[in-house]
Amino acid sequence: MELIAGSSPHPRMVIGDFNATLYDHERRGPGRFGMGAAMEFSAMVDASAMVQIPSSGRKFTWSNNRRRGHVSAVLDRTFVNEDWLKSFDDCIQQVLPHFASDHAPLLVRSGISLKPKNCPFRLNNFWLDHLDFLDLVNATWNIEVLGSPTYILAQKLKALKPIIKSSSRRAFPRLDQEVAISKS
């Protein structure tokens, strides 16, 4: 981690399974807290000049998934350097639910991050009631695309997005104004 953090004046983030806890309260279950490992881990964090960002969601990021002798611990963390905090001072780590691993996935978010130009498309429920909506979807969905199932799905969704957007602008030309009026 010291090599990754380096002395370069660039924002840096390190996310991962560090396989050690820093404090006694970060482990629950049978067995003893490893003071030596915690001290080594703490020294490494200090030497790298990285800080752990705040966490929300579940406390423990790892579990041995046993009924008897169940152990949970905080092994997965996100560290950033000072330059990162200058750019993203509101970043937070969210611990998501376990689903395919004994480790919980981590999601790092920041409200300061710029919204991408190709921001996600959101479907408005009222579009489903429009008479032409299903015809538009069917016409686009029936286009033949070759490739893996995931690629085919992505390409069909990509093709559908501009069609629904332009149809929506024609069918609901005053939508933005009506939303603004309803908020006031």
Taking only the tens place, the pLDDT of each residue in 70-88 is 999 999 999 998 888 888 8
52: β partners = 79
Mean pLDDT of the chain: 84
Q: Is the dihedral of CA 13, 18, 20, 24 positive or negative?
A: positive
Domains of the chain, residue spans? 2-109, 125-177
Q: Is the confidence at residue 121, as pLDDT, over 80?
A: no
Architecture of domain 2-109: 4-Layer Sandwich (3.60)
pLDDT band at 166, cuts 50/70/90?
Answer: confident
Where is 57: in which H helix or E strand? strand 55-57
Percentage of the chain surpassing pLDDT 90? 27
Q: pTM of this prediction?
A: 0.58
pLDDT > 70: what percent of the chain? 89
Mean pLDDT, range 5-12, rounded to an integer: 70
